[in-house]
Amino acid sequence: MTSIALLRHGPTQWNADGRLQGRRDTELNESGRATVTGWRLPEPWARATILSSPLRRCLDTVDILRTVHAGLGPQTIDPRLIEMDWGAWEGRTLGDLRGELGEAMVRNEARGLDFRPEGGESPRDVQARLSPVLAKLVQQREDRLVVCHRGIIRAIYAMATDWDMRSDPMDKLSRNALQVFTLSGAGRPTVAGLNVRLSAEPVL
């Protein structure tokens, strides 16, 4: 059975500002780089092959992880792991959008998996582009460390738990942790371990 450990990229300035990044190719800020430098991957993930989003904030995260985890395996970039497309809302904050759009935003957010930003993707769209990625990983039979985005992690968590995103998730997903899933058959994810701590202990 194939396992994947999902790791969200380190923080950027847009994260600090609460702005929706989507496809914008932001880089880690100074605080974000320091955060990733302090991460220590537990075994076996400290020696895993890497699958990454193509966006700079994920590539920066991988580069920094390699400075403290000499045993990390080769890296493959898959464009289907890019963050959810926020369309015209990219760069905005949810607070501003809720204030501006009022009841229309309330109704849109209540759609859960079918919530859709103006000109962007729904979480269900994200799941549709991720499904073939997960199925291929099952065929390859190799565990992967997947460096990606919040929207990707939430989409896979929803697939594994049948969460419809109409309410809060059953589990709070920590930013500074691994979210581990096993993949079966056609790539159906099952929760194997949530919020796996990034140990502060040195990795030998």
Active site residues: 9, 83
Tokens at 138, concatenated: 């099952």
Question: Which residues lie closer than 8 Å to 6 by C-beta, 6 or more apart?
Answer: 146, 148, 152, 153, 156, 178, 179, 180, 181
Backbone angles phi, psi at 56, to 5 degrees: -55, -40
Are 151 and 123 a contacting pair, CB within 8 Å?
Answer: yes
Mapping DSSP onto H, E and C, the string for 125-189 reads: HHHHHHHHHHHHHHHHCCCEEEEECHHHHHHHHHHHHCCCCCCCCCCCCCCCEEEEEEEECCCEE
Classify 115 as helix, strand or coil: coil
Q: Which one-letter amino acid corresponds to residue 58?
A: C
